[in-house]
Amino acid sequence: MNSVSTHSVVSGQGIRAMVTTSQEPVRASVLMVHGLGESASSIAAFARAWAGWGILVVAPDLRGHGRSARFSEPELLAHPGDVWVRDVLDLLGGLDLPDAPILCAGHSAGGGVAAAVAAALGYARGVFLVDPFWRFPVTPYQKPPTARSAAEQFRAEQALSIDALAARLSEQWPRWSPSECLARARSVHETQLELVADGHVIPREPWPGLVHDLVAAGTPVDVVTGTVRCGIKPMHRTILKEAGAQVHIVEGASHFIRRDAPDALLDLARAFVDRVLPSVSTEEASARQ
């Protein structure tokens, strides 16, 4: 089995990212964006799997998460979803990535960021989104009661110790492995509460047009969703399909598909990678490194 290695980088804006690679020739790089209350560390196992396929993975801690910079009050008022997109573009611009295609992937709120970054780049080879957090009716603004409710939940979870929160998550989500419960608990403790209370974590560009424009420009968009407590509802699916995206449904999985059905999600991710990346010889791939 090829060894996988990870190192940390920090942008000039204080955004920390984990870069994961393997001994496989580099087929592409992927921006892998976590969701609200997560971090690069909490998606490390998913990143390692992609690295094993010859993908260099750049997984940032979004501002207000993990070890990255916190939001200032003016930045919270400037729409956090847009700040995240600018942060990630700045991070990518400062990296010396291989001369290979780039993919964008993201979960939940990170799915919205990944899609917006792909559109801003203009040359992403493909976009892979796991139950992206996109509102319907379409709006970039969170309803205040929903934001307050989310903040109350995070406040209660942060009041528990990491181990106690992991135990609670194990009871609430019996399909999750102990390591995933612990990873989620740690990430929740590292999340800036003010960000959750503000709630405007979706980039302001309307997502139906964003997906349509990506597909029209030749960028495949795959969306994976589940059937239990998910963000992508039947109306979202219809709009996504009309925009040209491929929608995959994992029966019985929740919003946290990666934890509920890890093998099914990895199979879909591997099929997406193999479909959107051209076949290259070992010599060609090695020359890109």
pTM of the model: 0.95
Looking at per-residue pLDDT, the higher value among 240 and 279 belongs to 240
Residue pair 287/28 in contact by the 8 Å Cβ criterion: no
Euclidean distance between CA atoms 117 and 86, whole angstroms:
8
Please write the tens of the pLDDT for every residue from 43-75.
999 999 999 999 999 999 999 999 999 999 999
| 167-195 tens-digit pLDDT | 999 999 999 999 999 999 999 999 999 99
164 pLDDT exceeds 80?
Answer: yes
